[in-house]
Structure 1
Amino acid sequence: MSAAISIPPHSLSIVVPFYNEEDNIAPLVKRVHEALVGYEHPWELVLVDDGSSDATVERALQSAKEYGPHVRIVELTRNFKQTAAMQAGIDAARGDVIVTMDGDLQNDPIDIPRMVARLLNEDLDLVAGWRQNRQDGLVLRKIPSKIANKLIARMTGVHLRDYGCSLKAFRGSVIKSVRLYGEMHRFIPAWLATVTTPRRIAQEPTTHHARTAGVSKYGISRTFRVILDLIAVYFFMRFRARPGHFFGGIGLVLTALSGLVLTWLGWVKFGLGENIGNRPLLIVAIGGLIAGVHFVTTGVLAELLARIYFESGTIRSYAARPERALAADEGWHKSA
């Protein structure tokens, strides 16, 4: 199928993070190879083990030995969570195009050639998967996901129908310019919009399968984490390079309002001769003035931290073991 799609010359890296997915490793590697039979361009498969406590690493190594050195293994020293694992895979990827997907067999590798073709033929920086027919539980997955998608789109200005789909195709040079921390993998399109225009971000309908093995790592509690992360994303998208404007703006408003209230109370005391010592408004005004000064000084400190951040080197959010050398060649898969 991939051979029938016209795709400009490139090299492709497929990044798949795993955590306790020992029963899904071998089937996924097989499906990737079946989906890319006859693929005309060099490609590699980067499997990232996120500190699994089962036999995930052993199964991954078996697959690498079976299929060849283009199947690479990145082993994290402990469980750093999905975002850090995905960042580790992106750092290890060598392709001009990087595709990310889940390791639970719910994403279908058959969609990869079509997404890569659209990315390159339409000169995009990201093609995000859109699970039109989701095979998840209605209460625990679909409804919270729809709410989160609408909130994210509204607050970030990047309008996608499915932020939670891990199957995405990136232009390598662009995704490598973004650093992922915390649990920000679901906000990758929004982070990408900080280094490129939303016009170069598109979505593509993809196949979605029900999980057949392993245990889902997500639940209803993810909705609350999404809201907190969304606030952080909104702040970084609007004020990352100028945090002093955010904190300083709040501080100036509080200081101005408190100053007006204190001026009025001063006129009441000295102009009208009334006692203001027992008025709650006096305490509120003094508290507002102190808070305003704190916000202004916080803004100054935030500006200093932002300058240090932009001028410093990259700090990684994970630690990985040295990659195992499985064969002495370039490690790319090329069709005969």
Structure 2
Amino acid sequence: MRTTAESVTSRIEAAEPIELSLVVPLFNEEESVGPLIERIAAAMTSYPASWELILVDDGSTDATIANAKSALNRPGLDLKIVALQRNFGQTAAMQAGINQAQGRLIATLDGDLQNDPKDIPGMVAELERRELDLLVGWRKNRQDGLLLRKIPSWIANRLIGRITGVRLHDYGCSLKIYRGSVIKQVKLMGEMHRFIPAWVAGVVPSSRIGEMPVTHHARQHGASKYGISRTFRVILDLLSVMFFMRFKARPGHFFGSVGLGLGALSGIILAYLFIDKFIMGNDIGTRPLFMIGVMLFLSAVQMITTGILAEMIARTYYREDTAVSYIIREVYEGDQAHQ
């Protein structure tokens, strides 16, 4: 079995493709990044294939990059540091790292030391054994506060599973193993990293997505970047996910269906008022029902028109799906940095 140093050296000499890329987004983790690199290097010592570590600094304002760069020339460590121009958010940072990754498999984990890198080799083996495209970590014994983290997370996981159809215990765990060819088909935007299994289910069957219990540690340094307000953002994001999963390629069906429903209701109301006016001889000019019928008709026209515009935008999106949600300032490899 090769050591980490032998693995990196032999890959360079023989131009061996990278088997596994580890992607870690970082934001103001100056105290954690050094121990994180140490733990990853120790955990991957016995890994039998080539691997690389990609740290993505998401616009940190502390010494995160400086501390990470001190490990660039560490023997046996194939390290790349991607420094983003400003803080774009965890999803964009994760996307930047995935785009830079060269491995056949890609692992993602948080940079706050709460995920344990020792789980990665076992997860890789489990993914291959079960022939999965995505293996999600399940923080079965989660070391977080009950009120602010565990309960909102439990509610969110149940909602996401019910709406998306991908049943997992822990959507929010950043420790995941992907097949590179699959995750690179998924474009991450906004704050959608917590819904990655749902997005992956859009390109592969949900039967190829699994989960595995992993170790979870309490935060040791710094402060959590999340609070109770995240619950409300999750609900809004979940509505977006539901829409994209069902109507991404045909948004006109969604808006058109709503428009036709409103139009049918408007037609019933206006037909009733027509009979009441011209057959029964009653005055309808000041009746609230008349205004409701007119407003429903106008809403129906607006929704159908919106559907047509959405279809046009969707076709443009599929022709030119090249936009990125981040800007890279520099990439550090060894003693070199480049734009």
TM over 0.5: yes
* Match status 1:227 vs 2:240: no
For 2:317 and 2:222, how far apart are their aligned partners in 1?
39
Query: What is the SS of the residue equivalent to 2:301?
Result: helix
Q: What TM-score, normalized to structure 1?
A: 0.94
* Match status 1:135 vs 2:153: no
Mapped contact 1:84–1:318 kept (Cα < 8 A): yes
Paired position in structure 2 for 1:107: 115
Paired position in structure 2 for 1:331: none
For 1:246 and 1:67, how far apart are their aligned partners in 2?
56
Paired position in structure 1 for 2:83: 75
The one of the two structures with greater contact order (alpha-carbon pairs below 8 A, sep at least 6) is: 1
Identity of aligned residues (%): 58
Structure 1 unaligned blocks of 5 or more: 4-8, 329-336
- Following superposition, the deviation at residue 302 of structure 1 comes to 0.4
For 1:202 and 1:49, how far apart are their aligned partners in 2?
29
- 1:179 pairs, out of 178, 187, 190, with 187
- 1:88 pairs, out of 72, 96, 113, with 96
Query: What is the SS of the residue equivalent to 2:71?
Result: helix
- Following superposition, the deviation at residue 322 of structure 1 comes to 3.3
For 1:137 and 1:256, how far apart are their aligned partners in 2?
50
Paired position in structure 1 for 2:222: 214
* Match status 1:15 vs 2:23: yes
Structure 2 unaligned blocks of 5 or more: 4-16
Paired position in structure 2 for 1:152: 160
Mapped contact 1:15–1:99 kept (Cα < 8 A): yes
Correspondences of 1:42-53 after superposition (within 5 Å): 42-53=50-61
Given the superposition, is the C-alpha separation of residues 21 and 313 from structure 1 closer, same or farther in structure 2, using an over 3 Å criterion? same
**Which residue identity lines up with residue 17 of structure 1 in the other structure?**
P
- 1:289 pairs, out of 297, 311, 336, with 297
Query: What is the SS of the residue equivalent to 2:253?
Result: helix
For 2:117 and 2:330, how far apart are their aligned partners in 1?
27
Paired position in structure 1 for 2:38: 30
Mapped contact 2:18–2:52 kept (Cα < 8 A): no
For 1:291 and 1:38, how far apart are their aligned partners in 2?
63
- Following superposition, the deviation at residue 69 of structure 1 comes to 5.8
Deviations 1:72-105 (A, max 9, x none): 1000000001000000000001000000000000
Given the superposition, is the C-alpha separation of residues 113 and 69 from structure 1 closer, same or farther in structure 2, using an over 3 Å criterion? closer
- Following superposition, the deviation at residue 37 of structure 1 comes to 1.1
| Runs of 4+ with deviation above 2 angstroms | 65-69
Mapped contact 2:41–2:77 kept (Cα < 8 A): no
Alignment RMSD: 1.6
Correspondences of 1:166-315 after superposition (within 5 Å): 166-315=174-323
For 1:12 and 1:224, how far apart are their aligned partners in 2?
35
Deviations 1:272-293 (A, max 9, x none): 0000011100000000000000
Deviations 1:25-65 (A, max 9, x none): 01010001111112110000000000000000000100222
Say which is worse superposed, 318-327 or 214-223, in terms of deviation.
318-327
**Which residue identity lines up with residue 97 of structure 2 in the other structure?**
G
Paired position in structure 1 for 2:71: 63
For 1:38 and 1:107, how far apart are their aligned partners in 2?
19
- Following superposition, the deviation at residue 327 of structure 1 comes to 5.6
Mapped contact 1:13–1:97 kept (Cα < 8 A): yes
- Following superposition, the deviation at residue 68 of structure 1 comes to 5.4
For 2:178 and 2:310, how far apart are their aligned partners in 1?
31
Paired position in structure 1 for 2:11: none
Query: What is the SS of the residue equivalent to 1:204?
Result: strand
- Following superposition, the deviation at residue 324 of structure 1 comes to 2.5
- Following superposition, the deviation at residue 120 of structure 1 comes to 1.7
**Which residue identity lines up with residue 36 of structure 2 in the other structure?**
L
**Which residue identity lines up with residue 288 of structure 1 in the other structure?**
L
For 2:114 and 2:2, how far apart are their aligned partners in 1?
20
**Which residue identity lines up with residue 182 of structure 1 in the other structure?**
G
For 2:207 and 2:280, how far apart are their aligned partners in 1?
62
Query: What is the SS of the residue equivalent to 2:31?
Result: coil
